[in-house]
């Protein structure tokens, strides 16, 4: 089996978000970059499939050279090789075209795994668009994945208030999330993995021409809450009064 | 021209999300003079959408399309866009719509923006505000294509009644049903009788301050009294005290209820990212230095085991007098 992992390098979850250049750019000053957390669930599942069924695992990233330390981390965790398409992924459609172009030129992948969204721009669309552009089936918000006989797979996805289990076949694109593997199963690189990762191939490809369909004109920070009203723990009637008369939520 | 909304159903009826989309579309249509058209699948009460400003409902009555399939549904939506000459399509942020979004975008060749929180600005080009960095930022995003697809962030616009005269049309364009064979739903597990977390108007959430899973009885009781859903912080889900579906935060669910009550949650930046779309937040914590107090509207410093039972009694008395 051949598995392709679509991976984004994103600011660490504890990052304070600021903007620069007249609020037109994300301020990367002091930011720690990590594997997108939703992609981490997909990566761990990919490693489990590789260990159980045997597979080649290739990680694909669309990004400039600054994403390479994070790509190396994926290699250290156990991916066999990496491909980086050398361009800043500004628009989801543009990024999906880059990925689709790679998949169309390398039709051997049975399973293409991604996180359901990246925690920076939260579009939740690149992997779905790439699936459509390469004419592949696609399941999103995946919280369970098991191989059955031959090409058949059983996939569970989250739905409102529950889960739906689907039987489908490879090739397939999935958008993973929390629940796909257990939190404690998530892998971190060990020293041997880090040493080996240095020697694993990382191929850099130029971007293909593509249309840009959306453009961010400026950023702002969400409005800050007004000052908090403190209520004495022995005066809960005041809270109920505020919720009813001021907030009008009860 | 028209604005098209995909009106999802919940238990067969028009969903809360669909009403919010209709309200958004109506507000925009009042500026542009467009018609608002909804497409739904086996909706039992399509007429209800007239209340929220929908002029026409295309109701798919083909029984084979009753259950969601991202490819079949996206195909029908494309047919509706062509028929109604829609320039703008709106979808909600439910799991089904998030799933179908990129497929619809490809089928109708639209620029697609998610997590939209505002109507398009009045300018010579089309710009909407959307949440980015998991609610830690807002990006003014221009859509450069002729057709536009917007995924509206839940509870960001709200539901506004604005009745218009409407009509319902049966709509059954030809669809390749083989997609259902390639993608067979073999099992659905759904919690019944409970409000789905992401649709809840009120959420009661608790963290490690509760000391153990055996202490969640009072959280559930508080939620019951308020008709609320229950949620939890990441450590609590990771420890297995509560199911991971209840985890709200940066890597869990993003919620935006009218009222979020946080009990024994310190308010780490990752947790706040998942809840700061809430209209009002109440924080109950015995640590006056807990960072959550900086982000909340109402705060109580006190022991949860003392405050929560008292609050339940007070709320019961309040409800009894309503």
pLDDT digit string (tens) for A90-125? 999 999 999 999 999 999 999 999 999 999 999 999
pLDDT digit string (tens) for B27-57? 999 999 999 999 999 999 999 999 999 999 9
For residues B232-269, one letter each, b for 16 or more C-beta atoms within 10 angstroms of the residue's C-beta and e for the rest, the string is bbbbbbbeebbebbbbbbbbbbbbbbbbbbbbbbbbbb
Please name which of B10, B26, B9, B2 lies closest in space to residue B159, comparing C-alpha atoms. B26
ipTM: 0.96
Among the partner residues A96, A218, A230, nearest to B299 by beta-carbon distance: A230
Looking at the fold, whether B116 and B255 belong to one and the same domain comes out as no
Q: Which residue out of B100, B102, B234, B278 would a mutagenesis test of the A interface target, given it has the greatest number of A Cβ atoms within 10 Å?
A: B102
- Cα–Cα distance for residue pair A227/B293, rounded to 1 Å: 9
Looking at the fold, whether B45 and B166 belong to one and the same domain comes out as yes
- Cα–Cα distance for residue pair B271/B279, rounded to 1 Å: 16
Q: What is the pLDDT of residue A119?
A: 96
Looking at the fold, whether B201 and B177 belong to one and the same domain comes out as no
Q: Which residue of A has its CA nearest to B252?
A: A178
- Cα–Cα distance for residue pair B191/B188, rounded to 1 Å: 10
- Cα–Cα distance for residue pair B109/B306, rounded to 1 Å: 57
Give the residue ranges of chain A where pLDDT is below 70.
none
Q: Which among B181, B214, B230 is the end of a domain?
A: B181
Higher-pLDDT residue of B193, B258: B258
Nearest CA-CA distance, residue B195 and chain A, Å? 8
Asked if residue B186 belongs to a domain, the reply is no
Chain B residue numbers with beta carbons less than 8 Å from the beta carbon of A92 are 112
Looking at the fold, whether B21 and B65 belong to one and the same domain comes out as yes
Looking at the fold, whether B152 and B297 belong to one and the same domain comes out as no
- pLDDT at B193 exceeding the cut of 80: no
Site of tokens 């699948």:
B41
Query: Domain containing B210 — which CATH number?
Result: 3.40.50.1220
Among the partner residues B96, B226, B295, nearest to A159 by beta-carbon distance: B96
Structure tokens at A131: 């699936």
Looking at the fold, whether B177 and B210 belong to one and the same domain comes out as no
Looking at the fold, whether B127 and B249 belong to one and the same domain comes out as no
Please say whether the structural domain A2-222 has been given the CATH code 3.40.50.620: yes
Cross-chain Cβ contact A228/B306 below 8 Å: no
Q: What is the pLDDT of residue B122?
A: 77
Query: Domain containing B120 — which CATH number?
Result: 3.40.50.620
- Residue B233's domain comprises 197-320
Chain A residue numbers with beta carbons less than 8 Å from the beta carbon of B306 are 233
- Assess B310–A contact: CB distance below 8 Å, yes or no: yes
> Domain coordinates of chain A in residue numbers?
2-222
Looking at the fold, whether B177 and B201 belong to one and the same domain comes out as no
Nearest CA-CA distance, residue A76 and chain B, Å? 23
Asked if residue B242 belongs to a domain, the reply is yes
Global pTM? 0.95
- Cα–Cα distance for residue pair A229/A209, rounded to 1 Å: 54
pLDDT digit string (tens) for B117-158? 999 997 778 999 999 999 999 999 999 999 999 999 999 999
Cross-chain Cβ contact A230/B143 below 8 Å: no
Query: In chain B, which among 10-39 make CB contacts under 8 A with chain A?
Result: 10
Cross-chain Cβ contact A128/B102 below 8 Å: yes
Looking at the fold, whether B203 and B235 belong to one and the same domain comes out as yes
Cross-chain Cβ contact B95/A140 below 8 Å: yes
Looking at the fold, whether B308 and B160 belong to one and the same domain comes out as no
Q: What is the dihedral of CA A164, A165, A166, A169, to 10 degrees?
A: 140
Site of tokens 């037109």:
A24
pLDDT digit string (tens) for B59-82? 999 999 999 999 999 999 999 999
Tell me whether strands A2-6 and B298-301 are parallel, antiparallel or unpaired. Answer: unpaired
Looking at the fold, whether B127 and B229 belong to one and the same domain comes out as no
Chain B residue numbers with beta carbons less than 8 Å from the beta carbon of A32 are none
- Residue A45, class by beta-carbon neighbours within 10 Å (0-12 exposed, 13-18 middle, 19+ buried)? buried
Domain tally for chain B? Answer: 2
Residue A116 CB partners (closer than 8 Å, separation 6+):
A38, A124, A127, A140, A141, A142, A175, A176, A177, B98
Which of helix, strand or coil describes residue A78? coil
- Angle at which helices A68-77 and A37-53 pack, to 10 degrees? 30
Cross-chain Cβ contact A221/B295 below 8 Å: no
pLDDT band at B22 (very low <50, low <70, confident <90, very high): very high
- Assess A188–B contact: CB distance below 8 Å, yes or no: no
Asked if residue B69 belongs to a domain, the reply is yes
CB atoms within 10 A of CB B190: 12
Which of helix, strand or coil describes residue A146? strand
Residue B307 CB partners (closer than 8 Å, separation 6+):
A233, A236, B284, B300
Asked if residue B91 belongs to a domain, the reply is yes
Cross-chain Cβ contact A122/B144 below 8 Å: no
How distant, in Å, are the alpha carbons of A98, A112, A189, B70, B100 from that of A126? 10, 12, 27, 16, 12
- Angle at which helices B217-226 and B304-320 pack, to 10 degrees? 30
């Amino acid at each position: 089996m051949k598995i392709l992992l679509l991976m984004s390098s994103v600011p660490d979850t504890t990052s304070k978000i600021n903007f620069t250049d007249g609020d037109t750019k994300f301020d990367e000053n002091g930011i720690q970059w990590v594997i997108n957390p939703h992609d981490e669930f997909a990566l761990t599942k990919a490693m489990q499939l590789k260990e159980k069924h045997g597979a080649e695992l290739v990680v694909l990233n669309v990004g400039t050279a600054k994403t390479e330390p994070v790509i190396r981390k994926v290699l250290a965790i156990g991916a066999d090789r990496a491909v980086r398409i050398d361009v800043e992924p500004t628009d989801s459609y543009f990024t999906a075209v880059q990925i689709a172009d790679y998949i169309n030129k390398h039709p051997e992948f049975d399973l293409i795994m991604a996180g359901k969204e990246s925690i920076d721009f939260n579009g939740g669309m690149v992997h779905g668009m790439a699936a459509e552009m390469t004419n592949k089936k696609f399941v999103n918000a995946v919280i369970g994945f098991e191989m059955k006989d031959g090409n058949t797979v059983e996939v569970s996805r989250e739905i409102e208030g529950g889960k739906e289990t689907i039987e489908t076949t490879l090739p397939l694109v999935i958008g993973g999330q929390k629940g796909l593997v257990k939190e404690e199963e998530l892998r971190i690189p060990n020293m041997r993995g880090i040493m080996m990762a240095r020697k694993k191939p990382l191929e850099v490809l130029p971007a293909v021409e593509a249309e840009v369909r959306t453009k961010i004109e400026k950023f702002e920070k969400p409005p800050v809450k007004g000052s908090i009203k403190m209520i004495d723990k022995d005066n809960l009637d005041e809270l109920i009064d505020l919720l009813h008369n001021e907030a009008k939520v009860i | 021209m028209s604005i098209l909304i995909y009106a999802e159903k919940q238990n067969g009826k028009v969903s809360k999300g669909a009403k919010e989309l209709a309200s958004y579309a109506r507000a925009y249509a009042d500026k542009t003079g467009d018609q608002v058209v909804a497409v739904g699948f086996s909706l039992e009460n399509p007429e209800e959408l007239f209340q929220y400003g929908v002029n026409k409902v295309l109701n798919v009555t083909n029984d084979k399309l009753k259950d969601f399939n991202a490819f079949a549904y996206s195909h029908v939506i494309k047919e509706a866009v062509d028929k109604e000459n829609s320039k703008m399509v709106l979808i909600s942020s439910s799991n089904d719509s998030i799933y179908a979004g990129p497929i619809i975008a490809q089928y109708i060749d639209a620029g697609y923006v998610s997590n939209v929180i505002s109507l398009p600005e009045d300018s010579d080009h089309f710009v909407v505000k959307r949440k980015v960095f998991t609610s830690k930022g807002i990006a003014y995003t221009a859509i450069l294509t002729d057709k536009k697809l917007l995924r509206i962030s839940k509870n960001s616009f709200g539901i506004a009644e604005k009745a218009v005269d409407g009509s319902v049309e049966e709509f059954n364009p030809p669809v390749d049903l083989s997609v259902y064979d390639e993608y067979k739903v073999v099992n659905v597990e759904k919690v019944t009788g409970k409000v789905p977390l992401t649709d809840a108007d009120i959420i009661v959430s608790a963290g490690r301050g509760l000391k153990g899973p055996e202490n969640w009885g009072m959280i559930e009781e508080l939620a019951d009294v308020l008709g609320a859903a229950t949620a939890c912080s990441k450590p609590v889900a990771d420890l297995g005290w509560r199911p991971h579906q209840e985890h709200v935060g940066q890597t869990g669910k993003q919620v935006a209820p009218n009222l979020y009550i946080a009990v024994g949650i310190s308010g780490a930046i990752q947790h706040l990212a998942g809840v700061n779309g809430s209209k009002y937040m109440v924080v109950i914590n015995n640590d006056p230095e807990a960072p959550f107090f900086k982000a909340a509207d109402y705060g109580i410093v006190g022991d949860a085991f003392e405050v929560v039972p008292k609050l339940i009694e007070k709320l019961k008395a309040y409800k009894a007098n309503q």
